[in-house]
Amino acid sequence: MARACLTALFVLSLVAAGCKTAPACPLQLRTDAAKALDDHARQQAGWKSIKAEARVTQWGGKGRIRGTVLLFLEQPNRVRFDVMTQLGPAAVLTSDGETFQLSDLREGTFLHGPTCPQNIARLLGISVDARHVLRLLTGDTPRIEAIEESMECRDGRYVLTLVAVDGTTQEIAFSVDDADREKPVDAQKLTLRRSTERAPNGTTRWEATYDDYIDVEGQAFPTNVRFVDEVGGADTSVRVKSISLNPEIPEGAFQQTPSPSMSIEFASCS
């Protein structure tokens, strides 16, 4: 009797403490990793361009840097980022998919070169190319070229594992809305929550997390994206304050011309 009472008290204490069970997996489980990735890609493909304002915080070799950034993104690989201050823009990064340009208006320098992860990281701390940074900021993810794909449900989320020929792995986690847990597989909407790439020895190269999704004209976008670049030593948080779909993009928005007073330097990818 005493043991039974103690057990009951223990259970009640867990309930009182707000102990929560993990979300349930869908009744009908997805098992095809390739189809899940294709279904999610189709979900995220319903827009052409985006205009947004975000608060960006970056931790890296220079300490913490914070600022408001105005973004123009256009499929598949054109991006523009204006870092703003109370007095106007402090830096502008553009890429038309091939050419990278960065105007540092405080230092009076203009960098130009090919669009590559090293150059994108100069401003954003995100070591991916323009196509992939666009995907990361809009609820999608770069993917390794895999020779093996698998998926399972853990704690209510689908977790996909991709394996490359050299042993590199990538783990991608999707959540499913509560309203979809009893629906057939094809009717389950997938929401990207985490993407992690690891080297063949298991060490993390980078990880992206996605939270606080909102609906914009029927499209779901995260308003809280965090990208941790373990190789480059940078941690970047992007909190979106406003977003609009398919705005009119100003002509020439993804290219820049340096002012005569600027020093011009070539930015290599090495």
What totals of helices (H) and strands (E) does the chain contain, helices first?
Answer: 4, 14
* Residue environment code for 212-222, b if the CB has 16+ CB neighbours within 10 A, otherwise e: ebeebeebbbb
DSSP for 112-164? EEE--HHHHHHHHS--S-HHHHHHHTTT-------SEEEEEEETTEEEEEEE-
Nearest to 69 by CA among 46, 35, 92: 92
**Could you give the dihedral angle defined by the CA atoms of residues 220, 48, 111 and 107, in that order, rounded to the nearest 10 degrees?**
-50
Q: Distance between CA 114 and CA 95 in Å, rounded?
A: 9
Q: Stretch 66-81: mean pLDDT, rounded?
A: 94
Residue 185: name the closest of 3, 33, 58 by CA: 33
Domains and CATH numbers, the chain: 24-246+253-266 (2.50.20.10)
Evaluate if residue 160 carries a pLDDT over 50.
Answer: yes
Q: 3-state DSSP call for residue 11? A: helix
Cα separation, 152 vs 130, in Å, equals 31
Residue type present at position 172: I
- Cα separation of 262 and 29, whole Å? 58
> Strand 49-60 and strand 63-74: pairing?
antiparallel
User: Does pLDDT of 100 surpass 70?
Assistant: yes
Q: What is the average pLDDT across 88-110? A: 93
Q: Per residue in 202-234, pLDDT tens?
A: 999 999 999 999 999 999 999 999 999 998 888
Residue among 224, 221, 219, 188 nearest 208 (CA)? 224
Res 17: pLDDT: 47
Helices (H), the chain: 2-16, 33-43, 117-124, 130-136
Confidence at residue 63, expressed as pLDDT on a 0 to 100 scale: 64
When comparing pLDDT for 63 and 131, which is higher?
A: 131
Tokens of 188: 């389950």
DSSP 20: -
Q: What is the pLDDT of residues 78-94, one digit of tens each?
A: 999 999 987 788 999 99
